């Protein structure tokens, strides 16, 4: 490795610090792009993959990448050179590159991949996939000629990771989403549009990523020299030109500026200049960025066609942008002796294909095999409720409110109010919901009372309050069904008011109505709890004595007849004599209702013929 000045070490350390902003940027971008029920999960994945990738890259990956074998930083020979601190700087810088490659995957698999499964994938990338590809292209970074990667020896050019970081992350993301499948409701007949939870937060993430990109490209030469400002300017032009072309594409296709599409256009522009930022001019960066800005929209159409679900557009940005940035570098790379421009492009294409084949096959195979023994996707219930709760136990007041609503829907009990912390963001919503519940309960009670009243009116005689003819017939039908199962019999009788027409004619219909009411009250008081009485005609009543012997029924009816006759009926200070004639018959299991009523009516006819005011049994 060449001699480095203190300013170089300071500069690369500074750029390494900027790279940490990329983790913050990815966290904000993903947290805003997914639904609120999963935002904690994506942030936790960004925290965890930084930890996993850093440790494993330190223990295994860095040695494999630059020494060609798995070695720990505790034993690797370059770290025995304690006098050259720049080795540590290189490790820190490359460790952040490794973390970035893994974090790209996080957004693509968001909202349905298990947290532990993602950490397993991060360990595989940090220990195997990233170091191997890095060795092929950047293996000679520490000036150990024996370890120069075979792609680097061919003349493959990747300045700051268009292939090593971005394409690698994109290929792994593609393999992962193919294994775990799309989110629920993303495709199919019941497709639901999945809206981001906070586009402003995602836009903040893009700006933080942009800051990190300046360290990404600015520090990749591992020195501060006269070329560094140009590299930073090229990075900026690539990003802004990507935004510009994405804006144009969005207006042409959708007639409006789609926020995620425009942001991804800017990121794709940054990715595309990453591979050749050290060898291109400003106008080259403008052209590369303009083309790259179109890639997210076009690539997303391809993914949708094949029903491949990338939650935030990581594959269109990093894979498509990385391939474009790597390929176009072949037009500008310095030619080797006896090498044509076609040769340079061919070498870039070979690198793209070999890296893509290795990374995709390796990632897909490992994930596919792992998925057979350890399911990488969360359950359907977890996906519906959200990974914040199922993966991290985060209690959200809004979710608790939704669960309360769900339980009420299942139980049908809307009397219980929702209880939410008064200091939470959901308190006002819960308060309004409780007011809706209170109003709903009030209206429901009113409807129930109105329904009961309507049902009562439909079954009752409006004058006497007794069962009407239809309701009493239903009682008889129910009794017949009961008798079909029992060995007992019941008794049915018809009660007729004697000389009722004379009362109406002599004293008026008001007197007749009052007579009906008085007799109805006496009938209700005189029968037992399990018996039924109804008014089936003008002055006719019917009584059902359920599961009662005929003699017992006659005994009760005689008391009723006597009570009616002995109870004075006074109308306008005039005493009017009331009496009733009663026909009685048994109601057996084989009897029809009509035959039973005919027998009772025949017995009533005999009672009227025999001077009335008596109880006659049908024999």
- Active-site positions read 539
Q: In a 3-state reduction of DSSP, which class is residue 408?
A: helix
DSSP calls for 350-381:
HHHHHHHHHHHHHHHHHHHHHHHHS--BPPHH
Distance CA 197, CA 214 (A): 28
Q: What tokens does 439 get?
A: 């109003």
Dihedral Cα 499, 505, 510, 515, nearest 10 deg: -10
Strand partners, 545: 491
d(Cα 426, Cα 334) in Å, to the nearest integer? 61
Contact 269, 238 (CB under 8 A): yes
- Is residue 252 within 8 Å of residue 235, measured between CB atoms? no
DSSP 581: E
Directed axis angle between helix 199-218 and helix 6-33, to 10°?
Answer: 160
- According to the 3-state scheme, what is the secondary structure of 92-117? HHHHHHHHHHHHHHHHHCCCCECHHH
Cα separation of 403 and 418, whole Å? Answer: 10
Give the DSSP letter string of 110-147: TTTB-HHHHHHHHHHIIIIIHHHHHHHHHTTTTS-GGG
Classify burial at 406, counting beta carbons within 10 Å of its beta carbon; exposed 0-12, middle 13-18, buried 19 or more.
exposed
H-helix or E-strand spanning residue 574? strand 574-576
Contacts of 109 (CB under 8 A, 6+ apart): 118, 173, 176, 177, 180, 311
């Amino acid at each position: 490795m060449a001699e480095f000045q203190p300013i170089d070490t300071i500069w690369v350390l500074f750029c390494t610090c900027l790279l940490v902003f990329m983790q913050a940027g990815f966290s904000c971008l993903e947290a805003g792009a997914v639904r609120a029920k999963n935002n904690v999960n994506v942030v936790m994945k960004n925290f965890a993959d930084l930890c996993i990738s850093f440790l494993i890259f330190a223990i295994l990956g860095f040695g494999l990448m630059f020494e060609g074998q798995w070695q720990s930083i505790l034993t690797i020979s370059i770290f025995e050179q304690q006098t050259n601190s720049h080795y540590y700087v290189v490790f820190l810088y490359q460790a952040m590159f490794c973390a970035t490659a893994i974090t790209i995957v996080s957004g693509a698999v968001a909202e349905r991949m298990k947290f532990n499964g993602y950490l397993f994938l991060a360990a595989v990338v940090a220990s195997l996939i990233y170091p191997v590809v890095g060795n092929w292209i950047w293996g000679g970074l520490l000036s150990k000629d024996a370890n120069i990667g075979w792609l680097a020896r061919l003349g493959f050019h990747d300045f700051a990771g268009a292939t090593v970081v971005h394409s690698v992350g994109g290929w792994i993301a593609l393999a992962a989403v193919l294994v775990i499948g799309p989110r629920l409701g993303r495709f199919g007949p019941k497709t639901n549009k999945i809206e981001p939870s906070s586009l402003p937060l995602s836009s903040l993430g893009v700006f933080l990523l942009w800051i990190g990109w300046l360290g990404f490209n600015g520090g990749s030469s591992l020195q501060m020299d006269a070329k560094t400002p140009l590299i930073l300017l090229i990075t900026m032009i690539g990003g802004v030109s990507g935004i510009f072309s994405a804006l144009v594409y969005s207006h042409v296709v959708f007639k409006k500026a789609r926020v995620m599409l425009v942001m991804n256009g800017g990121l794709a522009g940054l990715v595309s200049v990453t591979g050749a930022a050290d060898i291109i001019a400003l106008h080259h960066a403008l052209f590369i960025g303009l083309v790259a800005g179109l890639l997210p929209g076009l690539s997303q159409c391809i993914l949708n066609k094949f029903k491949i679900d990338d939650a935030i557009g990581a594959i269109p940005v990093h894979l498509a942008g990385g391939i474009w940035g790597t390929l176009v570098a072949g037009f500008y790379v310095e030619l080797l002796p006896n090498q044509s421009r076609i040769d340079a492009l061919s070498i870039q294409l070979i690198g793209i294909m070999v890296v893509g084949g290795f990374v995709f096959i390796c990632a897909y195979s490992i994930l596919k095999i792992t998925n057979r023994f350890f399911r990488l996707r969360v359950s359907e219930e977890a996906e519906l409720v959200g990974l914040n709760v199922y993966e991290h136990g985060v209690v959200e007041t809004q979710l608790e409110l939704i669960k309360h609503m769900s339980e009420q829907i299942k139980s049908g009990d809307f009397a219980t109010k929702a209880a939410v912390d008064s200091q939470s963001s959901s308190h006002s919503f819960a308060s309004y919901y409780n007011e809706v519940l209170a109003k709903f309960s009030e209206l429901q009670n009113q409807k129930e009372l109105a329904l009961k009243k309507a049902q009562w009116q439909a079954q009752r005689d409006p004058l006497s309050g007794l069962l009407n003819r239809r309701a009493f017939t239903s009682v008889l039908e129910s009794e017949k069904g009961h008798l079909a199962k029992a060995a007992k019999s019941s008794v049915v009788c018809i009660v007729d008011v004697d000389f009722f027409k004379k009362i109406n004619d002599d004293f008026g219909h008001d007197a007749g109505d009052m007579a009906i009411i008085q007799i109805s009250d006496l009938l209700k008081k005189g029968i037992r709890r399990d018996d039924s009485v109804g008014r089936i005609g003008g002055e006719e009543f019917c009584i059902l004595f359920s599961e009662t012997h005929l003699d017992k029924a006659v005994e009760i009816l005689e008391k009723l007849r006597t009570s009616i006759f002995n109870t004075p009926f006074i109308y306008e200070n005039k005493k009017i004599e009331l009496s009733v004639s009663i026909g009685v018959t048994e109601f057996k299991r084989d009897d029809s209702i009509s035959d039973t009523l005919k027998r009772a009516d025949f017995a009533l006819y005999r009672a009227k013929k025999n001077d009335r005011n008596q109880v006659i049994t049908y024999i």
